[in-house]
Chain A
Amino acid sequence: MRRLILGLVVVSSLAVGRNARDVDSLFIAANQYMNREKYEDAVRLYEKILSQGYEHPDLYYNLGNGYYRLGFLGQAVWAYEKGLRFRPRDPDLRFNLDLVNAHIRDRIEIPETFFLLELYRALKSQFTLSDLLLVGSGLLLLASFLFAVNRISGNRFNRMSKFIGVIFVLAILVHGVALDKYWELSDKREGVVVEREVEAFSAPFERRDAVLFKVHEGIKVEITQRRPDWIEIVLLDGKKGWVRANSVREL
């Protein structure tokens, strides 16, 4: 029995290893296609890696470049956004996304909100959940370390305890942000319009007189409801409508 389990473990680890090597070669081949300006093939291979269950911000970055070269701005935005979920402070991803966004047709004016809220959102978007958790845990560690030192040395530094309190409050705040981020990730579904022009209807069926508005590719939307083949989207300025599910790629 033990032998069997051992054998299984060996086989499965081999399989994982081979799979990863396959993905590596796919990635290299795709990059070569990119260099030879065969963007269709490159994009096809990158998507294949994704479909095999592997991902990486670099992969999304290259995929976005491929889609941009092919003129699929919506797909490019999707890939860059997806990459930024892993590395929100990646300058290349940010630059290319800004560039593609400059090319897309729709400009949605975001209603102005309280500036502190905007600041908070901007700050939040700069960090991933794991970043926040790392910072939070680091602060907590610092606070508890100082607390320990202070206690062991017999509460000799009165100022120190205030400092510890500040750090502790900071750690709690960071954890609060992390919780917010977690809720955002788990509850808020977002997507990017990938078809050139999409009509949004007032209900999940096609009726000429029920067209509410039109959106063009590259617009990031929030997905609030689902039906088979249809999804309800909310634009950044609050417009709501139903579109065909395949016209929006979910982030």
Chain B
Amino acid sequence: MKPNNKNNQPGGNPRKTHGGVIARYRWWLPILLTGFFLLNTLQAVDVVASVDVNTITTGEVFTFKIEAIDADESPRVDISPLLDDFTIVSGPSQQTNIQWVNGKMKASRSLTWTLAPNHAGMIAIPSLPVKVGKRTLRTNSLQIKVTKTKQITKKNDLFLVTEIDKDEAYVGEQITITYKLYSRVNMSITDIQFPEFVGFWTEELFVPKQIDFRDTRIQGVRYKTATLYKIALFPTKTGDLDLSPMTVKCQVVVRKSRRSRSIWDDPFFNSVDPFFNPFGRETTTKILRSADKKITVKPYPPGQPADFTGAVGDFNITTTLDTTAVKINEAITLKVVLKGTGNLSLFSLPELTFPPSLEVFPPTSTIKKEPFRDNITGTITWEYILIPRQTGRFSIPRIELPYFNPDDRQWHRTVSKPIQLKVSPGKGSVIATSGYSKEEVTLLGKDIRYIRSQVPDWIQKGTPKFSTGTLIFYSLAVLFYFIPGITRNVQTNRLATAKTRRSKKALRIALKKLNRPADDIFTRTAHVIYQYLQDKFLLTSDKLDPHTVSLLLEGRLSPVDLEDLIRLLKTCDAGRFAPGAEVARETLVTDAKTLLRRIDKNA
């Protein structure tokens, strides 16, 4: 019965299953047994929590196992309720066991942690909800008895000391923390969990590659001591900041207390075999934790300068130029060196303003840091390449860095000296292939011109891009091009049609003249008629009388018209030369009009 039980024991340390454990914890076996019988019969519980030992001392560790039997998936569990009482040393690790029993497969999946108790006493491991697949099951609760450190290692034999140089600091002030191990026993460190510092910027000062112990005496007691870790902390915010503890897991060599041998205490399989360990020694795992510490980070005292960029410590800034007399377009190097102790690389240099005639290339910075007496000390060097683009004397302005010195709690300011630079004209033509041209350099120092405040005539977007003046110009140009042609045509036409136009106009002119009142009607009428005849029939002769008229117009006028015309002309002549012919005076003008109209119509 018993061996069977032993095999079923969950989470059993294989090393100890061979007897030691059973022998030691014989008293709780019945409980476990009944528990397993219950489990087997009910089949309702298929998640089991177990521990490998249930009586330990405060410096020891135990294995906590949650096993899901017949599960297809790994169980998921949140063991945070345990963390008040225990510290996780390692884990969780997953295991899967598959067994074939009577042709049936049995799979069990388990999670294992190595835990260390935080205090002594009876500690209950409560029932935990475990998720297997979609089902949520609860584990059985367990009790574990933690006794105070046994006589194996006295409390004063092995301990960790946290040394803090100050527990109040300003933001950015260095705090040095040293973790030291004191020991009077033979031990070896298997694992160190370094603390995490939230709210600090850290700079490791000392991490041993190999732990060197030195002898020291505390109140007359000899100890071996070793520095495990040394770190510089720079708080980045104000308030109370907690330092998480450092955990060291070590194997302590203890003299094994002689125990009664039982049948299970098989010397052959016992790993701490007396045969291989003739001095009767055994190691136990012991977890050392440093004490919890708290640091109060204070805000700065009043008077913080506006250009403060976060420098805390003690600094000195210097600037050097490699030469103070240079030719135009030749590169020079400006070195800005910041030396000091404090939170180097946690702040930036205030922006430098160079004269616009200097072309500045982005600086390269190098940081050299070294802990000098545990204080972060170092040099930051910025190298600016400057190329003067104008001749003359220039001043590279001073550089100021405000900083806070936590030692005297005062605001300070380190200022470099301004440097005078003389730029002389170089040889040959000045061609600035890259960077600023001469005009641009002169422009850089100037400001833009002032705005226009007059409300303009707005232009609607999309209006055509030419003015009406242009259109007028085009049309005029076309016009002028055609004008000579037009005028010539008109002129030639007029010349060609002058005579016909004259003959056409003749009647109109004649009638107009006749209508005018005149002193001597006969003379005027005769003159008008002659004029008409000249115009109408294009007669070239200047001196016309009734005889020449009848000669010239014979055939061109009907005989009746010609006869009437001659008679009328003769009447005029008669009236002109013989003042007796008053009778004809009344009808002369009307007769002349009707006659001329008739002639014009018939001709």
Assembled-state Cα–Cα distance A23/B461 (Å): 14
B contact residues around A141 at 8 Å (CB): 473-474, 476-477, 480
Q: How far is the CA of A23 from the CA of B460 in the complex (A)?
A: 11
- Which residue of chain B is the closest to A171 with respect to CB atoms? B477
**Is B190 part of the contact surface with A, judged by Cβ < 8 Å?**
no
Task: Say yes or no: A99-B484 contact (C-beta < 8 A), given A55-B461, A58-B456, A137-B470.
Answer: no
Q: Inside 8 A of B435's CB, which chain A residues have their CB?
A: 107
**Residues on B with beta carbons closer than 8 Å to the beta carbon of A8:** none
Closest B residue to A76 by beta carbon equals B448
Contact A133 B461 (CB under 8 A): no
Q: A65-B448, A107-B435, A141-B480 are in contact. Are A134 and B456 (CB under 8 A)?
A: no
Contact B460 A53 (CB under 8 A): yes
A145 nearest in chain B by CB position = B480
Partner-contacting stretch, out of A24-32, A192-200, A216-224, A238-246: A24-32
Complex Cα gap A96–B444 (Å): 11
Chain B residues in 8 Å Cβ range of A143: 477
Residues of B within 8 A of A151 (CB): 483-485, 488
Cα distance, A14 to B7, chains bound together (Å): 102
Distance to closest chain B CB from A100 (angstroms): 7
Residues on the A chain within 8 Å of B278, using CB? none
Cβ contacts B454-498/A at 8 Å (1 or 0 each): 111111111001110111011011111101110110000000000
The answer to whether B459 touches A56, judged by C-beta atoms less than 8 angstroms apart, is yes
Checking A102, A134, A145, A148 against B469 with a beta-carbon cut-off of 8 angstroms, the contacting residue is A134
Known A130-B470, A141-B476; judge A152-B487 contact (CB<8 A).
yes
- B455 and A134 within 8 A (CB): no
| A92 adjacent to chain B (CB < 8 Å) | yes
Residues of B within 8 A of A28 (CB): 453, 455
Determine the chain A residues whose CB is within 8 A of the CB of B444 once the complex forms.
99, 102-103
Asked if B476 and A59 make an inter-chain contact with CB atoms under 8 angstroms apart, the answer reads no
Within 8 A of B (CB), among A89-144: 92, 95-96, 98-103, 107, 109, 128-130, 133-134, 137-138, 140-141, 143-144
Question: In the complex the two chains form, is B440's CB within 8 Å of A62's CB?
Answer: no
1/0 per residue, CB under 8 A from B, across A150-166: the answer is 11100000000000000
B452 close to chain A: CB less than 8 A: yes
A148:B483 contact, CB within 8 angstroms: yes
Does A201 touch B at the CB level, under 8 Å?
no
What is the minimal beta-carbon distance from A39 to any residue of chain B, in angstroms?
A: 11
Assembled-state Cα–Cα distance A68/B446 (Å)? 13
Q: A98-B443, A102-B436 are in contact. Are A148 and B458 (CB under 8 A)?
A: no
Which chain B residue shows the least CB distance to A107?
B434
Known interface pairs A128-B465, A144-B478, A147-B480. Does A137 touch B455 (Cβ–Cβ under 8 Å)? no
Considering only CB atoms, which chain B residue lies closest to A98 in the complex?
Answer: B443
Contact yes or no, B484 A140, CB < 8 A? no
Please give me the residue from chain B that is nearest to A68 by CB atom. Answer: B448
Task: List CB contacts (< 8 Å) of B189-215 with chain A.
Answer: none
Is the beta-carbon distance between B452 and A144 smaller than 8 angstroms? no
B1 within 8 A of A: no
Complex contacts, B165 vs chain A, CB 8 Å: none
Q: Does B586 interact with chain A (Cβ within 8 Å)?
A: no
A151 CA / B453 CA spacing, docked (Å): 52
Q: Pick from A54, A138, A144: contact of B461, CB below 8 A.
A: A54
- Interface positions of A from 7 to 39, Cβ below 8 Å from B: 20, 23-24, 27-28, 31, 34
Interface residues of B in 404-451 (CB under 8 A from A): 433-436, 439-441, 443-444, 446-451
Interface check A78, CB cutoff 8 A: no
Interface pair A27/B455, CB less than 8 Å apart? yes
**Residues on the A chain within 8 Å of B452, using CB:** 58, 61-62, 92
A155 to B551, alpha carbons, bound, how many Å? Answer: 47
Q: Contact between A99 and B443 (Cβ–Cβ < 8 Å)? A: yes
- Complexed CA–CA distance, A180 and B523 (Å): 78
Partner of B466, one of A58, A86, A107, A130: A130
Is B470's CB under 8 angstroms from A61's CB?
no
Q: What residues on A are CB-neighbors of B470 within 8 Å?
A: 130, 133-134, 137
Contact partners of A59 in chain B: CB under 8 A: 456
Q: Are A99 and B467 in contact (CB under 8 A)?
A: no
A77 to chain B, nearest CB (A): 12
A31 and B461 contact, CB distance less than 8 A: no
How many angstroms between the C-alpha atoms of A84 and B480 in the bound complex?
Answer: 35
- CB–CB A53/B480 < 8 A: no
Give the complex CA separation of A62 and B456 in angstroms.
Answer: 12
Once the chains are docked, how many angstroms separate the CA of A55 from the CA of B460?
A: 6
Bound CA span A98–B440, Å: 8
Given contacts A54-B461, A55-B461, contact A102 B451 (CB under 8 A): no
> Contact: A144 with B481, CB < 8 Å?
yes
Contacts of B459 in A (CB 8 A): 54-56, 86
B484 contacts A148, C-beta separation under 8 Å: yes
Nearest Cβ on chain A to B390's Cβ, whole angstroms: 13
Task: Decide yes or no: A134 and B458 within 8 Å by CB, A144-B481, A148-B481, A148-B484 being known contacts.
Answer: no
Bound Cα distance A107, B433 (Å): 10
Nearest Cβ distance between residue A129 and chain B, in whole angstroms? 5
Q: Give chain B residues whose Cβ lies under 8 Å from the Cβ of A152.
A: 483-484, 487
B451: chain A residues at CB < 8 Å are 31, 34, 61-62, 65
Please, which residues of chain A bring their CB within 8 A of the CB of B471?
Answer: 137
Measured in the bound complex, the distance between the Cα atoms of B465 and A95 in whole Å is 25
Q: Specify the chain A residue showing the minimal Cβ separation from B447.
A: A99
Contact of B458 among A55, A101, A133 (CB under 8 A): A55
- Which residue on chain A has the smallest CB distance to residue B469? A134
Given A56, A102, A144, A147, which contacts B456 in the complex, CB threshold below 8 Å? A56
CB distance from B286 to the nearest CB of A (A): 51
Which B residues lie within 8 Å of A98 (CB)?
439-440, 443
Report Cα–Cα, A68/B477, bound state, in Å. 46
Q: Is the CB of B449 within 8 A of A95?
A: yes
User: Which residue on chain B has the smallest CB distance to residue A65?
Assistant: B451
- A130–B467 CB distance below 8 A: yes
Q: Which of A61, A92, A99, A140 is close to B477, meaning CB atoms less than 8 Å apart?
A: A140
- Kindly list chain B residues whose C-beta atoms are within 8 Å of the C-beta of A102: 436, 439-441, 443-444
Is there contact, CB below 8 Å, between B460 and A54?
yes
How far apart are the CA atoms of A141 and B454 in the complex, in Å? 35
In the bound complex, what is the Cα–Cα distance between A102 and B460 (angstroms)? Answer: 32
Distance of A137 Cα from B456 Cα, bound (Å): 27
The docked-state distance in angstroms from the alpha carbon of A151 to that of B480 is: 10
Q: List 10 A-B contacts (CB under 8 A).
A: A31-B451, A55-B458, A55-B461, A57-B456, A62-B451, A92-B449, A103-B444, A128-B465, A144-B480, A148-B484
In the A-B complex, the 7 residue pairs with the closest CB atoms: A151-B484, A137-B473, A102-B440, A144-B480, A54-B458, A141-B477, A56-B456
A-to-B contact residues, CB < 8 Å? 20, 23-24, 27-28, 31, 34, 53-59, 61-62, 65, 68, 86, 92, 95-96, 98-103, 107, 109, 128-130, 133-134, 137-138, 140-141, 143-145, 147-148, 150-152
Q: A31-B451, A109-B434 are in contact. List 20 more A-B contacts (CB 8 A).
A: A53-B460, A55-B459, A56-B456, A56-B459, A86-B459, A102-B436, A102-B440, A102-B441, A107-B435, A130-B465, A134-B469, A137-B470, A144-B477, A144-B478, A145-B480, A147-B480, A147-B481, A148-B484, A151-B483, A151-B485
